[in-house]
């Protein structure tokens, strides 16, 4: 037996080698447990799926280093918190733009609220209230400024028209009265007949 081989055999039998063995094994064991703890925490932070969390932990228990490599490849890129804040940011941005813009009824382009015509298709986005001349969206039928209905005269204006029409009709009615005295008289007719 060559000298160096017998030296190795002696070293393997020595208590020093036993200590090194124990130290190495405990180091690997600690690393293994550490990886499992880290993967457990990371999987919980990145996924809400119990299946994914269990799978990540089990694969790292079964295959200490390869499992970690595999986990690093398949884990979600963003944590739950990152996704939550991104979603929040997106929603806030959308709300902000919704305040300043509106969608064209015809071509669905997002346009500024101040626009009267759609720059994309030329659709008339606004119309003017016939009662108060206030500007409002084409799809609305009630004016938000005065409450008037688009395309219909306002209630007050209707009353005005009725008032202005009534006296003329009455006069016409009275003028016809002498001819119609034979007609079965209603109360107001009787009154007018008496005064005549």
Cβ-based nearer residue to Zn ion, 58 or 107: 107
Q: Which residues of this chain interact with Zn ion, rule CB under 5 A?
A: 104, 106-107, 109, 118, 120-121, 123, 129, 131-132, 134, 143, 145-146, 148
Q: Cα 9 from chain centroid?
A: 73
CB of 154 to Zn ion, least distance (A): 8
CB of 114 to Zn ion, least distance (A): 15
Write out the DSSP string of 6-74: HHHHHHHHSHHHHHHHHHHHHHHHHHHHHHHHHHHHHHHHH---HHHHHHHHHHHHHSHHHHHHHHHHH
Cβ-based nearer residue to Zn ion, 17 or 140: 140
Cβ-based nearer residue to Zn ion, 43 or 129: 129
CB of 134 to Zn ion, least distance (A): 4
Cβ-based nearer residue to Zn ion, 67 or 148: 148
DSSP 3-state helix, strand, coil percentages of the chain (rounded to 5)? 65, 10, 30
Cα 196 from Cα 178, distance rounded (Å): 9
Cβ-based nearer residue to Zn ion, 30 or 121: 121
CA angle 107, 112, 113 (to 5 degrees): 105
Cα 190 from Cα 196, distance rounded (Å): 10
């Amino acid at each position: 037996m060559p000298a160096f081989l017998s030296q190795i055999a002696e070293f393997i039998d020595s208590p020093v080698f036993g200590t090194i063995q124990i130290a190495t094994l405990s180091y690997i064991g600690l690393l293994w447990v550490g990886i499992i703890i880290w993967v457990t925490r990371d999987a919980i932070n990145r996924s809400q799926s119990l299946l994914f969390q269990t799978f990540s932990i089990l694969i790292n228990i079964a295959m200490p280093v390869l499992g970690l490599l595999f986990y690093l490849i398949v884990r979600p890129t963003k944590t739950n918190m990152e996704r939550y804040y991104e979603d929040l940011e997106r929603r806030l941005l959308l709300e902000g733009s919704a305040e300043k813009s509106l969608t064209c009824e015809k071509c669905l382009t997002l346009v500024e609220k101040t626009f009267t015509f759609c720059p994309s298709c030329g659709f008339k986005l606004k119309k003017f209230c016939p009662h108060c001349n206030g500007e409002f969206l084409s799809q609305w039928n009630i004016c938000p400024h005065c409450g008037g209905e688009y395309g219909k005269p306002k209630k007050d204006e209707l009353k005005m028209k009725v008032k202005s029409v009534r006296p003329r009709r009455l006069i016409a009615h009275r003028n016809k009265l002498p001819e119609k005295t034979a007609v079965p008289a209603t109360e107001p007719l009787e009154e007018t007949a008496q005064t005549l």
